[in-house]
């Protein structure tokens, strides 16, 4: 049976439905039929969307001849994100045209609290400029070279992306203080006195 014939069966099933959001019962039936034809549709592999994921469809709408639905995707959460992507799919049941794109995000877990890195940078800059060898956040190589113990400064205690962003902002703030005071970052987290 060709793809368009299968899509025509779905369209005929929906003919009795008014345009707009579909009830949960109708949505479940329709999406079951879409699962059966999904792998035959062009663009169905877009966003690595396999047929079994279609069963999680939300906000199923019928605007003849287009069936649209939203899928929550969690790929970014594996990388530490607290948000899921929401993909909007539109399937034209007459042409077989399938389009999907990321429309918005859903917050799944609370975001990490904001961290003001400026006071941390100011405090650490004072320790470097004064050559404070008692500060455990600093690993002095000699009196003019120091390495930051970043895990003690910005701990790796939250989502990976948040830690990376915090550390980047911190180093920028630290560099802005140290450079006019004769210290330069020679490698990430490594500083040397240049004057």
Per-residue pLDDT of the chain (195 residues; tens, 9 = 90+): 577 788 889 999 999 899 999 999 999 999 999 998 898 888 777 777 788 888 889 899 999 999 999 888 765 545 556 677 788 899 999 988 888 887 777 776 666 688 999 999 999 999 999 999 999 999 999 999 999 999 999 998 877 788 899 999 999 999 999 999 999 999 999 999 997
Domain holding 71, by residue range, is 3-107
Counted domains in the chain = 2
Same domain, 91 and 127: no
Residue 127 lies in a domain: yes
Same domain, 100 and 128: no
- In whole angstroms, what is the distance from residue 185 CA to residue 173 CA? 12
Q: How many CA atoms lie within 13 A of 2 on its CB side?
A: 7
Query: Is residue 148 within 8 Å of 156, Cβ to Cβ?
Result: no
Q: Which of 107, 142, 161 is the last residue of a domain?
A: 107
pLDDT of residue 73: 72
Same domain, 102 and 148: no
In order of 45, 65, 148, the CA distances from 94 in angstroms are 20, 6, 62
- In whole angstroms, what is the distance from residue 47 CA to residue 40 CA? 16
Q: Which of 166, 144, 136 lies closest to 154 in space, CA to CA?
A: 166
pLDDT of residue 75: 53
Same domain, 124 and 59: no
pLDDT of residue 150: 96
Q: Which of 107, 131, 164 is the last residue of a domain?
A: 107
In order of 28, 41, 68, 89, 94, the CA distances from 3 in angstroms are 20, 7, 18, 18, 10
Whole-model pTM: value is 0.55
- In whole angstroms, what is the distance from residue 132 CA to residue 135 CA? 6
Query: Is residue 15 within 8 Å of 55, Cβ to Cβ?
Result: no
The CATH number of the domain holding residue 88 is 3.10.450
Same domain, 102 and 150: no
The two beta strands, 190-193 and 20-21, are unpaired
Angle between the 24-38 and 3-14 helix axes, to the nearest 10 degrees? 170
Q: How many CA atoms lie within 13 A of 28 on its CB side?
A: 3
Do you know the residue count of the chain?
195
Same domain, 82 and 132: no
Same domain, 77 and 22: yes
Same domain, 9 and 103: yes
Same domain, 94 and 167: no
Same domain, 91 and 56: yes
Residue 142 lies in a domain: yes
């Amino acid at each position: 049976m060709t793809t368009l014939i299968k899509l025509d069966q779905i369209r005929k099933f929906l003919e009795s439905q008014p345009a707009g959001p579909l009830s949960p019962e109708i949505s479940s039936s329709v999406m079951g039929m879409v699962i059966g034809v999904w792998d035959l549709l062009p663009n169905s592999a877009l966003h690595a969307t396999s047929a079994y994921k279609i069963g999680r469809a939300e906000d199923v709408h019928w605007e003849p001849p287009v069936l649209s639905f939203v899928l929550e995707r969690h790929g970014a959460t594996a990388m530490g994100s607290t948000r899921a992507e929401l993909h909007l799919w539109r399937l034209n049941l007459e042409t077989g045209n399938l389009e999907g794109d990321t429309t918005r995000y859903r917050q799944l877990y609370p975001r990490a609290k904001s961290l003001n890195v400026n006071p941390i940078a100011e405090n650490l800059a004072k320790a470097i400029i004064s050559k404070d060898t008692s500060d455990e956040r600093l690993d002095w190589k000699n009196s003019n070279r120091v390495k930051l113990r970043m895990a003690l400064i910005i701990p790796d205690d939250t989502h990976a992306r948040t830690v990376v962003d915090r550390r980047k902002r911190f180093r920028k703030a630290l560099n802005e203080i140290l450079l006019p005071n004769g210290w330069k970052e020679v490698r990430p987290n490594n500083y040397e006195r240049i004057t």
